[in-house]
A and B are shown apart, each in its own frame.
Chain A
Amino acid sequence: DAKTTQPTSMDCAEGRAANLPCNHSTISGNEYVYWYRQIHSQGPQYIIHGLKNNETNEMASLIITEDRKSSTLILPHATLRDTAVYYCIVRAAGGNNDMRFGAGTRLTVKP
């Protein structure tokens, strides 16, 4: 699976959009980009995933560049409850479920 690179930490003001980048320059054509987050001491929570097109759901939007070498998770109106570690994972379609979590980005939403 392709390796991902994320900033170690980011801050965001409450009510503003949080844009979390992820670099996956070695991504293959059949690999999805997944985003999960983990709020302190809880199990990780699935946010969104995408293959080529931009995706949006009730939690966030995922913007994938045309060359698929990077992506951005957007939380449109961050709240204090969005403070968490966000993981970007690249994983091939189908097959096993051995997601490899890196260190992620620690997002702190400030009032």
Chain B
Amino acid sequence: KAGVTQTPRYLIKTRGQQVTLSCSPISGHRSVSWYQQTPGQGLQFLFEYFSETQRNKGNFPGRFSGRQFSNSRSEMNVSTLELGDSALYLCASSFNRAGANVLTFGAGSRLTVL
């Protein structure tokens, strides 16, 4: 079974630009969550999508947005990039296993904002 695939793996942008990151979940997984990881703040929850609907959202500004398609693939977008947006962006898909939600993470997309 293929794992969670994130593209691109690395990208460099400049301040003010926007970026779109993609995540393909494990086949059959309907929930996709996004996380931001920085050295200073650790792993922080961005948002979660389930069946094309945003089910939960973390404490991030509106510049961070996402969506999920009917095939469960998800994208996240960051507009008007700031230097502080440099981070590893992780996507996870999950399957409910007897009441417990187990996340499977992708390798991440490392964004550098110059």
Q: A-side interface residues toward B, CB under 8 Å? A: 32, 34, 36, 38, 41-46, 49, 51, 87, 91, 93-103
Which B residues are in CB contact (< 8 Å) with A41? 88, 108
Which B residues are in CB contact (< 8 Å) with A94? 96, 99, 101
Q: Which of B49-87 touch A at CB < 8 Å?
A: 50, 55-56, 58
Q: Confirm or deny: B92 has a beta carbon within 8 angstroms of a beta carbon on chain A.
A: yes
Q: B-side interface residues toward A, CB under 8 Å? A: 4, 31, 33, 35, 42-45, 48, 50, 55-56, 58, 88, 90, 92, 94, 96, 99-108
Main secondary structure on chain B at its contact with chain A?
strand
**B58 and A97 within 8 A (CB):** no
**B56 and A46 within 8 A (CB):** no
Which A residues are in CB contact (< 8 Å) with B102? 34, 46, 49
